[in-house]
Amino acid sequence: MRGDAKSMTVLRPRSAAEAVKSYAKVPTAMPLAGGTDLMVGWNLGVLNGRSILDLSRVAEWKKINVVSDGIDIGSLVTHSEIQKHPVIRKRFPLLVAACGTVGAAQIQNRGTIGGNIANASPAGDTFPALAVYEATVRVLGQSGRRGVPISEIFAGVKKTTLKPGELIEAVFLPFTDTAPTRGVFRKVGTRAAQAISKTMFAGLLFNGKGGVLAEARLAFGSLAPTVRRLYAAESFLKGRKLDDKTINAAAELMTTDVSPIDDIRSTREYRLVVSRNLLIAFLKGEVK
């Protein structure tokens, strides 16, 4: 079956308020942001007869605003626009690196950060970086606005915790009081580019006094139904020196927080081995 545009009803709100109102009237509508995933479904005919909520005219969701305590990225900002923004490049380089791995240039020019989150793939490229930057997803519905920590926005594979009628309007990234000592984003796939990840890693380290670690933020994608912070390893590392014994012990705690599976792209064993090696190399300063 092929996509039949004549069978679809397209709603095209011009503002955030109108978008929420339209969604409330037609709660079965499928929100459309960049369309890089949705159009695959349309091409296969699975959206025939559906109502589509086209958000492309909501101008206020296409803006990047720098405020005193962080940066607000509108949900319709593209991966390409994120890569070009000078403040994001300086303060959130892991997100810039992650956006640079999303498909090819054409996908980066169309795909949006809000659509990436709403799609809720376990292999979402931006998610590990958003996790270690402790992003907040701002959502809007008829009952008003609320902020959802990135760690709480995903409910499972292709599922979010958005309430009926809610839409993602922005992603807020808070500035840190001190700059990270070290930061890395890495994606491992079948190819060097245009590949769905086998595993993804984002890590930030903050040094403390006396040569010990003040804080570690470590996150993996594609190792569980949703992006996962390595909370057990992070807690263990805090206040310790990064010697080989400590690093190896932290790596052994990975399976406390992740649960990879065998699938068409890779095996559980491969994912664990590669991810453990990535974590160790990062903590040793061998991955930059």
Token digits of residue 230: 């390595």
Question: Mind listing the pLDDT tens digit for each residue in 28-52?
Answer: 999 999 988 888 888 888 889 999 9
The band of 232, judged by pLDDT with boundaries at 50, 70 and 90, is: very high
> Where are the CATH 3.30.390.50 domain residues in the chain?
182-284
The band of 135, judged by pLDDT with boundaries at 50, 70 and 90, is: very high
Q: DSSP label at 13?
A: -
> Where are the CATH 3.30.465.10 domain residues in the chain?
61-174
Span 182-284: which CATH code?
3.30.390.50
Fold of 61-174: 3.30.465
Look up tokens 């006094």; give the residue.
209
Selection from 251, 1, 227 nearest residue 120 by Cα: 227
* pTM given for the model: 0.94
Element housing 184 (H / E): strand 182-189
Q: Which residues contact 233 (CB under 8 A, 6 or more apart)?
A: 216, 218, 250, 251, 253, 254, 256, 257, 279
Cβ neighbours of 285 (radius 10 Å): 12
Axis-axis angle for helices 244-252, 268-284 (nearest 10)? 150
pLDDT of residue 190: 63
pLDDT of residue 264: 66
Strand-pair partners of 250: none
